[in-house]
Chain A
Amino acid sequence: NAGVTQTPKFQVLKTGQSMTLQCAQDMNHNSMYWYRQDPGMGLRLIYYSASEGTTDKGEVPNGYNVSRLNKREFSLRLESAAPSQTSVYFCASSVGNRGVLGYTFGSGTRLTVV
């Protein structure tokens, strides 16, 4: 019963480096999401994919790109990391679009950009 699996769990980057966060779900959900969580600000949507082959910007997309590789996998890429991207990143999936009935979250990636 894996649910949503994210890798890596922790990462430290230098300013300007690039990296890709990986996410996979085994619940046959159509929609997948990337959120970031910062203290006092709640979870903010970066990008989402309503179904395989589609992606859309969320509330805070600048500095990020995504790829919906197939129905199971949705990756988040930071092309040139900045200290403002230090955060905890969560991947999530949902049965319906936009998570109206709720999300299943992964355990997160804690990213520090120095």
Chain B
Amino acid sequence: TQLLEQSPQFLSIQEGENLTVYCNSSSVFSSLQWYRQEPGEGPVLLVTVVTGGEVKKLKRLTFQFGDARKDSSLHITAAQPGDTGLYLCAGAWGATRFGAGTRLTVKP
């Protein structure tokens, strides 16, 4: 079974702080996706990265794919309460596997 490990599991910060969450595996992925899920809703795709070393930015969110395509990070600058949610990574290498997620709470 291919595993995706996300860390930390839980993160609670104040509005305005910066944070980084991680997604790691021993497998090489053909692509890696990040999703945000809010309570009572399905995951929403934020970004897909496909090239080792690739960096993508989405407003205050920066996504990086590791050079070896085995890991990824999500950095949020100046977090806001609207960033609160469950952040999921998913790695594709034929089948797509999801990590268990990082639950982020941003307090006003």
Contact = CB atoms under 8 A, between A and B. Distances in A.
B99 interface: yes
Contacts of A107: 40-42
A29 interface: no
Contacts, number: 56
Contacts of A99: 33, 90, 92, 96
Choose among B42, B44, B48, B98 the residue with the greatest number of A CB atoms under 10 Å from its CB.
B42
B94 interface: yes
Given A40-B100, A42-B101, A107-B40, A102 B95 contact: no
A103 B34 CA distance: 10
A86 B45 CA distance: 25
Given A107-B41, A108-B40, A108-B42, A100 B31 contact: yes
A111 interface: no
Choose among A41, A42, A45, A107 the residue with the greatest number of B CB atoms under 10 Å from its CB.
A42
A43 B92 contact: no
B43 A105 contact: yes
B103 to A, nearest CB: 10
Given A40-B100, A43-B98, A58-B95, 16 more contacts: A35-B98, A42-B100, A43-B43, A59-B95, A90-B42, A92-B42, A98-B92, A100-B30, A100-B96, A103-B33, A103-B90, A105-B43, A105-B44, A107-B41, A107-B42, A108-B40
28 contacts: A35-B98, A40-B100, A41-B100, A42-B98, A42-B101, A43-B43, A45-B96, A58-B95, A59-B95, A90-B42, A90-B43, A92-B42, A98-B94, A98-B96, A99-B90, A100-B31, A100-B92, A100-B96, A101-B31, A101-B48, A103-B33, A103-B43, A103-B96, A104-B45, A106-B42, A107-B41, A108-B41, A108-B42
The 9 lowest CB-CB distance pairs between A and B, nearest first, are A105-B42, A43-B98, A42-B98, A102-B45, A42-B100, A100-B92, A99-B96, A102-B48, A102-B33
Interface of B: 4, 30-31, 33, 40-45, 48, 88, 90, 92, 94-101
